[in-house]
């Protein structure tokens, strides 16, 4: 009889999600933000996402055997709690609470979980609750879903767990072995988040802007090494500068920040002007370099023997959403293959917690070939969404949606493309995408002005046929999930400037017939139409919104922007011409 496991994330207050496995096969995975239409779904529980996973997999709540969560109690005898208390002794209330009441958040979460299970009609007496330490859930998501023979080095680079922020270890024969952990407040991601905050951005979304502007700055102009150091034994942030709590925190307009007045005294006022201004653009370059240098040092110091043996490094955690760091790790001399979990943030911990619980029982996880684990919709449902919308858009059923899409794109138009099961993870992978022709020099400006309103220095990602990857990104690891920056060839950089950054790097989704057959078919059609097997690929959402999920979401988004065309399954959607009334 099959064992059914539901994985849930969201224990730390954001990115709730659900994943459902039958035995060792991932059947469905959905992020709550996509259903609520609120990015990161702060303060919510994975109620809608768990329901949707059960609907997709056609599982009755009473059939679920175990629920895995990426949050676990930490013993008083674990050095993590003592480290936390020691490093926060300047705030005695935090330190003492960490020692004497260190699992309060876990206990609170269990209460929330019990309420959630009752709401989902999952009988609490019939299931097993499996708490999984947060970093082990991340480790499982990048190792067990890609398990291979021999050893795989594992690096989890996260911003927040129970106590652990950094995990270094390896996987072998399904078992994850810890070599070293570092605990709060000593966090690489926390260091980057503090500077993101200092540079004037909200955490979780602002880091990508800091990473994007870094190549425009001079990392050597300002020394940020006082923020954190690794001496071969200890990795330690200076929590008089960053990672501060209590009265040490810098406050402005009654809001506490992740850095201190001492940091402001050292670097100058928190950014109020343009990010491209001196010194802020150089601070962005310096923090990116320090981030990469320290991560590379930790990996080489603790995992060198494993990498020497296998050459395989698997990484996860919120900090691994930094594609430039991932590029640096992929290019380490000992690394022959870098495995990045596509949903490496906390939503992906729902998958990781479930896979860890399943693998611990002895069942091997079926390798995951793509990240299309959300809901899908029929053309009839897409038509209903058009009919029910108050603006009554025009629609027609296409006999050849791929051919029509290729012609639209060849003409330089922006196309919203909605097809198949929704992606899981931060990046649009061709099922909920805005696609555009990179041969038109003005296309990036067009996307910015009509939809995204991004800074002009941010290039767009690309999806490219696998048959062309060797020309596009020679000598680079090919990635079907856009999880690492890669260097474009000079010829392609000159040909497609909209998708290449100032330093020659790009973010490319390599598409073959197995990874995404529909997107592959569209790219082939576009190549036949234009001679180019490459498209700009941006996420199908407006700024600040979650990725589109349903046909209703897609129609709302399309009519709320200046996009030219929308194709949902086999349905072409256009705007009804406005008639003037007097």
Q: What is the mean pLDDT of the segment spanning 261-280?
A: 92
The answer to whether residues 27 and 15 touch, using CB atoms and an 8 Å cutoff, is no
Q: Where along the chain do its domains lie?
A: 4-144+344-360, 188-340, 379-574
> What was the pLDDT predicted at 272?
82
Q: What is the mean pLDDT of the segment spanning 370-399?
A: 97
Do the domains 379-574 and 188-340 match in fold?
no
Q: How far apart are CA 260 and CA 265, in angstroms?
A: 9
Res. 1: pLDDT tops 80: no
* Cis previous bond, 279, omega within 30: yes
Q: How confident is the model at residue 451 (pLDDT cuts 50, 70, 90)?
A: confident
Q: How far apart are CA 126 and CA 269, in angstroms?
A: 56
Determine the straight-line distance between the first and last CA of the chain, rounded to whole angstroms: 70
Dump the DSSP string for 208-235. HHHHHHGGGS-TTSS--GGGEEE-SS-E
Burial 185-221 (b: 16+ CB within 10 A, else e): bbbbbbbbbbbbbbbbbebbebbbbbbbbbbbbebee
Q: What is the pLDDT of residues 197-207, one digit of tens each?
A: 999 999 989 99
Res. 559: pLDDT tops 90: yes
Q: What is the pLDDT of residues 96-153, one digit of tens each?
A: 988 989 999 999 999 999 999 999 999 988 899 999 999 999 999 999 999 999 999 9
Nearest-5° angle of CA 512, CA 558, CA 213? 65
**In the chain, what percentage of residues exceed pLDDT 70?**
99
The answer to whether residues 180 and 234 touch, using CB atoms and an 8 Å cutoff, is no
> What was the pLDDT predicted at 578?
54
Res. 95: pLDDT tops 50: yes
**In the chain, what percentage of residues exceed pLDDT 90?**
88
Res. 28: pLDDT tops 90: yes
Q: How far apart are CA 247 and CA 244, in angstroms?
A: 8
DSSP H/E element including 526: helix 517-530
* Angle (deg, nearest 10), helices 280-310 and 188-198: 160
> What was the pLDDT predicted at 166?
98
Q: Match 């009473």 to its residue by tokens.
A: 62
Res. 582: pLDDT tops 90: no
**Three-class SS state of 18:** strand
Q: How confident is the model at residue 209 (pLDDT cuts 50, 70, 90)?
A: very high
Contacts of residue 306, Cβ cutoff 8 Å, sequence gap at least 6: 151, 152, 153, 170
| Pairing relationship of beta strands 312-316 and 337-340 according to DSSP bridges | parallel
The answer to whether residues 413 and 536 touch, using CB atoms and an 8 Å cutoff, is no
Please state, in angstroms and as integers, the Cα–Cα distance from residue 40 to each residue in 31, 227, 575, following that order: 9, 28, 31
**Mean pLDDT score of the chain, rounded to an integer?**
95
What's the token pair of residue 218?
A: 């001079």
Name beta bridge partners: 566.
416, 573
Res. 580: pLDDT tops 70: no
Third-level CATH fold of 4-144+344-360: Nucleotidyltransferase; domain 5 (3.30.420)
**Three-class SS state of 451:** helix
Dihedral pair phi/psi, residue 20, rounded to 5°: -125, 125
Write out the CATH class of domain 379-574. Answer: alpha beta
Contacts of residue 19, Cβ cutoff 8 Å, sequence gap at least 6: 6, 7, 26, 28, 29, 53, 350, 351, 354, 373
Q: Match 């959403």 to its residue by tokens.
A: 321
Dump the DSSP string for 30-88. EEHHHHHTSGGGTT--SHHHHHHHHHHHT--GGG--EEEES-----TTSHHHHHHHHHT
Third-level CATH fold of 188-340: Nucleotidyltransferase; domain 5 (3.30.420)
Contacts of residue 475, Cβ cutoff 8 Å, sequence gap at least 6: none
Compute how many other C-beta atoms are within 10 angstroms of the C-beta atom of residue 126: 11
Q: What is the pLDDT of residues 325-359, one digit of tens each?
A: 999 999 999 999 999 999 999 999 999 999 999 99
Q: What is the pTM of this model?
A: 0.96
Q: How far apart are CA 409 and CA 345, in angstroms?
A: 32
Q: How far apart are CA 120 and CA 118, in angstroms?
A: 5
> What was the pLDDT predicted at 115?
96
Name beta bridge partners: 111.
none
């Amino acid at each position: 009889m099959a064992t059914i496991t539901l994985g849930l994330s969201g224990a730390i207050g954001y990115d709730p999600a659900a994943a459902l496995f039958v035995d060792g096969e991932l059947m469905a995975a959905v992020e709550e933000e996509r259903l609520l239409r609120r990015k990161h779904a702060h303060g919510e529980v994975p109620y809608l996402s768990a329901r949707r996973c059960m609907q997709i997999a056609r599982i009755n709540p009473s059939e679920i055997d175990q629920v895995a969560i990426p949050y676990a109690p930490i013993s008083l005898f674990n050095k993590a709690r003592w480290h936390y208390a020691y490093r926060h002794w300047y705030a005695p209330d935090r330190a003492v609470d960490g020692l004497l009441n260190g699992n309060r958040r876990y206990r609170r979460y269990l209460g929330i979980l019990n309420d959630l299970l009752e709401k989902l009609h999952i009988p609490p007496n019939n299931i097993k609750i499996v708490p999984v330490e947060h970093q082990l859930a991340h480790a499982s998501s990048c190792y067990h879903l890609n398990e291979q023979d021999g050893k795989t080095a594992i690096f989890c680079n996260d911003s927040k767990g129970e106590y652990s922020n950094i995990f270094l270890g390896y996987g072998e024969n399904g078992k994850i072995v810890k070599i070293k952990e570092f605990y709060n407040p000593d966090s690489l991601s926390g260091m980057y988040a503090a500077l993101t905050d200092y540079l004037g951005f909200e955490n979780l979304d602002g880091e990508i802007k800091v990473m994007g502007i870094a190549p425009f700055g001079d990392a050597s102009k300002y020394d940020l090494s006082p923020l954190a150091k690794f001496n071969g034994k200890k990795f330690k942030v200076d929590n008089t500068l960053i990672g501060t709590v209590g009265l040490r925190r810098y406050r402005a307009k009654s809001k506490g920040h992740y850095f201190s007045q001492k940091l402001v005294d050292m670097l100058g006022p928190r950014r109020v002007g343009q990010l491209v201004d001196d010194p802020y653009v150089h601070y962005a370059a310096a923090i990116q370099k320090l981030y990469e240098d320290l991560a590379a040092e930790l990996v080489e110091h603790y995992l060198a023997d494993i990498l020497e043996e296998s050459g395989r490094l698997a990484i996860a955690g919120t900090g691994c959403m930094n594609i430039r760091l991932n590029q640096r790790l992929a290019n380490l001399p000992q690394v022959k293959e870098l495995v990045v979990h596509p949903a490496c943030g906390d939503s992906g911990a729902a998958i990781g917690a479930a896979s860890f619980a399943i693998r611990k029982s002895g069942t091997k996880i079926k390798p995951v070939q793509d990240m299309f684990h959300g809901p899908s919709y029929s053309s009839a449902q897409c038509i209903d969404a058009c009919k029910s919308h108050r603006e009554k858009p025009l629609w027609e059923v296409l006999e050849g949606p791929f051919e029509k899409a290729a012609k639209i794109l060849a003409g330089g138009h922006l196309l919203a493309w909605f097809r198949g099961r929704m992606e899981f993870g931060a990046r649009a992978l061709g099922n909920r995408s805005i696609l555009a022709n990179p041969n038109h020099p003005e296309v990036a400006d067009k996307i910015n002005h009509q939809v995204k309103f991004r800074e002009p220095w941010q290039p767009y990602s690309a999806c490219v046929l696998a048959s062309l990857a060797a020309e596009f990104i020679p000598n680079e690891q090919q990635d079907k999930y856009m999880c690492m920056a890669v260097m474009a060839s000079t010829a392609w950089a000159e040909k497609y400037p909209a998708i290449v950054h100032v330093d020659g790097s790009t973010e490319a989704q390599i598409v073959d017939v197995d990874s995404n057959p529909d997107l592959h078919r569209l790219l082939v059609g576009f190549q036949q139409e234009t001679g180019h097997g490459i498209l700009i690929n941006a996420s199908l959402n407006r700024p600040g919104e979650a990725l589109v999920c349903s046909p209703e979401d897609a129609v709302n988004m399309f009519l709320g922007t200046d996009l030219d065309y929308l194709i949902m399954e086999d349905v072409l959607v256009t705007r009804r011409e406005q008639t003037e009334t007097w």
